[in-house]
Amino acid sequence: MSSHNSTYNPTNPVEKWLDDRLPLVRFGKEHLLDYPTPKNLNYWWTGGAILTFMLGVQIVTGIVLAMHYTPQIGLAFDSVEHIRRDINGGRIIQATHAVGASMFFAAVYLHIFRGLYFGSYKAPREILWILGVIIFLLMMATAFMGYVLPWGQMSFWAAAVITNIFAAIPVVGDPILQLLRGGFAVDNPTLNRFFSLHYLLPFIIAAVVGLHIWALHVPGNNNPIGVEVKSERDTVPFHPFYTMKDFFAIVVFCIPFAWFVFYAPDILGHPDNYIQANPLVTPPHIVPEWYFLPFYAILRAIDFNFILDSKLLGVIFFGGSILILFFLPWLDTSKVRSGTFRPAFKWFYWVFVANFILLTWYGAQTPDMKIIGSFTVADTSKLSVLYYFGYFIVILPLLGRFEKPRPLPNSISEAVLPASATH
Amino acid sequence: MIKITTILAAGLMALGLAVPAMAQEHETIHIERQPWSFGGIFGKYDEHQLQRGFQVFREVCASCHSARLMAFRNLSEEGGPGFSEEQVKALAAEYTVNDPEAEGGTRKALPSDRWPGTGQSDADLAAAFGMVPPDLSVMAKARSISSPFPQWVFNYFTTYSEGGPDYIHALLMGYEETPPEGVEVPEGKFYNHVFPGHAIGMPPPLADGQVAYAGEDGAAAPAEMLTAEQYSTDVSAFLMWMAEPHLNAQKAAGFRVLAFLIVFAVLMWFVKQRLWRKVH
């Protein structure tokens, strides 16, 4: 499908001249307009367009904010307030950027879980998936550093706690810690380098998104039934069919986005970040932003020594919880892509989703909070960590061997047509 | 295909796992939510309340607390207490600010100046209260109240963002002259059942009749307005405005934006449907 024939025929001499030298228009026509897309994609497949839109929103609002922000520990907090108070439309731009981070992660989680359900990571889309995991990692780094910039109490203490995680790595831990902080403690050099990197990383994300789309356009889209495109009958051109469908999805996505931006811009944040950073006062309860909570819960759940020190073990599980996604294409042994045709997989998948939500909730609680009887968050969250890793390491490899999938339709058209007869 | 029912089932499973935990949540201080005029999606500040709140802030709070992010000019800006520019000019002129370029290093404040602070040195304040009283500029956003499950879920739909003023109002009314039995309050501290740890350095700041509100035509306000309860409500509203001065404009813009998005979404739905009819 990557080698579909180009239908671009430059008509006037200027277009011809350009096409012989830099076939930009041809490229755009092939990849943005004519790109053959399976005709059975549902709304879970609008995530890519929504995420591209969100990246754009974050870059544009971020560039405007950077025009007014001062990365210096004595001035950073007040400069963010200056943006909110004195810049024309500043409160809305700042709120869009802050809420935008949450909406970006909400969309990326839906996108990832879509891929997990429909087996979008399976051959021949392993590279596509791996690039996605890299984007996710870059997003986490960018969001974390961005959260530090307002230099509130949560900013400062999040920076202290998260950079400190690296100190647990043997031998290189301390040098890494000092490199991240630009010194022994979180201070002005930390803020400066975080600002610099926070401005840089989104453009690297944009580049990896380019690769991600390239890697998508080589094998073509996966689709809800997971059966590869067999003929032209199975596809529609990307434009106008999916451009308009994606556009519709983006507008709908903007409704809750605007709801938070205009009516409750701080509801997803923490009030402590309205207190200027103070290295001498530790907040009673340090919590990361909601989108880091599942991984934070995994980090905290490892509070015991097992061969290794608990601190290092926690870091291994914390890092491993994301790194394991890189190996997912080879851990899942089932040949069937779509969860729709995998009766047993479905159950494990939805338990995995519920477990992930539960981990999010655990991450926001204090570890000593009682759950059932005398069992605390620290105890029960270990079960969730076990299931999280068990899903990838035990369930998916074994399920492919023992599960009997339902019969697959012969082609996308065959799956689509009977249903459309009832329309 | 992912069915809505399956998603709901997953959500319910997560809830089912979480609910027994919720029942055992830590004991938290219950704080009553107030009916603020600026709550909800159509919320707006009440000018008169902000003016009263400013009077309480100026006569009571500002003697010990700074508010470095508020400028005098803010007081005459749209969506605020609605003072006239002349009133603000006259008000600013009552204060002196440091200015190295002025003769003698000080001059009368201008509307463009920030709130000048308490006039007392940090060292004096720290000696009096055990710490420098915190700046109040964004205090109403730096505090909140905890919402137990399932209330915090509803907060996203009701856009509840008034935890700050609710907390401040409760704190100002939370003093008890005699602490409960068995509670030791350290020297120089006061018992407040809302404050975390209950021992607060701030003496009870408000008493009935303390601030003389002026009614219409300069006559004295009716006695039922001159209560500590009323003062604490008014000053909490004022602190919210100080922390979020563009709230009125923001909410009004939000209504227009959402109305546009909803109409646009409906139109895009028809565009998409019409296009795809050919495919199905």
pLDDT tens for each residue of B208-259: 999 999 877 777 888 889 999 999 999 999 999 999 999 999 999 999 999 9
d(CA A392, CA A408): 24
Residue B221, min C-alpha distance to chain A (Å): 33
> Residues B36-43: what's their mean pLDDT?
96
- Would an 8 Å CB–CB cutoff place B115 in contact with chain A? no
- The reported pLDDT for the residue numbered A422 is 45
Question: In which band, very low, low, confident or very high, does the pLDDT at B147 lie, cut at 50, 70 and 90?
Answer: confident
The answer as to whether B83 is a domain residue is no
- Would an 8 Å CB–CB cutoff place A274 in contact with chain B? yes
The answer as to whether B109 is a domain residue is no
- The reported pLDDT for the residue numbered B20 is 45
- The reported pLDDT for the residue numbered A416 is 67
The answer as to whether B89 is a domain residue is no
Domain CATH number, residue B225 = 1.10.760.10
- The reported pLDDT for the residue numbered B24 is 43
Q: Does domain A43-151+195-224+236-276 have CATH number 1.10.150.120?
A: no
- Would an 8 Å CB–CB cutoff place A113 in contact with chain B? no
Are B1 and A118 within 8 A, CB to CB?
Answer: no
Beta pairing partners, A276: A152
153-212 of A, contacting B, C-beta below 8 A: none
- The reported pLDDT for the residue numbered B6 is 62
Range of the domain at B175: 4-70+115-263
- The reported pLDDT for the residue numbered B148 is 86
CB contact under 8 A, A350 and B6: yes
Q: What percent of chain B has pLDDT over 90?
A: 75
Which residues have CB under 8 Å from A347's CB, separation 6+? none
Residues B63-106 have pLDDT tens digits of 999 999 999 999 999 999 999 999 999 999 999 999 999 999 99
- The reported pLDDT for the residue numbered A2 is 42
Q: Is residue B21 pLDDT above 70, yes or no?
A: no
Residues A158-210 have pLDDT tens digits of 999 999 999 999 999 999 999 999 999 999 999 999 999 999 999 999 999 99
What's the token pair of residue A139? 């997003």
Domain range summary for chain A, segments of one domain joined by +: 43-151+195-224+236-276, 287-423
DSSP annotation string for B66-113:
--TT-BGGGGGSTTTT---HHHHHHHHHTSEEE-TTSGGGEEE--TTS
> Residues B198-204: what's their mean pLDDT?
94
- The reported pLDDT for the residue numbered B280 is 67
Are A359 and A298 within 8 A, CB to CB?
Answer: yes
**Residue numbers in B near A240 (CB within 8 A):** 275
CB contact under 8 A, B20 and A372: yes
Residues A375-408 have pLDDT tens digits of 999 999 999 999 999 999 999 999 999 999 999 9
**Residue numbers in B near A241 (CB within 8 A):** 275-276, 279
The answer as to whether B82 is a domain residue is no
The answer as to whether B103 is a domain residue is no
d(CA B247, CA A271): 17
The answer as to whether B274 is a domain residue is no
Number of domains in chain B: 1
- Would an 8 Å CB–CB cutoff place A284 in contact with chain B? yes
CB contact under 8 A, A266 and B155: no
**Residue numbers in A near B269 (CB within 8 A):** 248
Tell me which residue in B144, B243, B261 faces A255 most closely, judged by beta carbons: B261
The answer as to whether B86 is a domain residue is no
Between A31-45, A139-153, B8-22, B124-138, the lowest mean confidence (pLDDT) is in B8-22
d(CA A295, CA A389): 12
Q: Mean pLDDT across chain B, nearest whole number?
A: 90
Nearest to A274 by CA among A400, A98, A411, A415: A98
Tell me which residues of chain A have a pLDDT lower than 50.
Answer: 1-3, 420-423
- The reported pLDDT for the residue numbered B14 is 56
Residue A339, min C-alpha distance to chain B (Å): 8
The answer as to whether B248 is a domain residue is yes
Chain B interface disruption, residue of A251, A360, A369, most B CBs within 10 A: A251
Nearest to A94 by CA among A50, A52, A53, A63: A63
- Would an 8 Å CB–CB cutoff place A1 in contact with chain B? no
Are A176 and A166 within 8 A, CB to CB?
Answer: yes
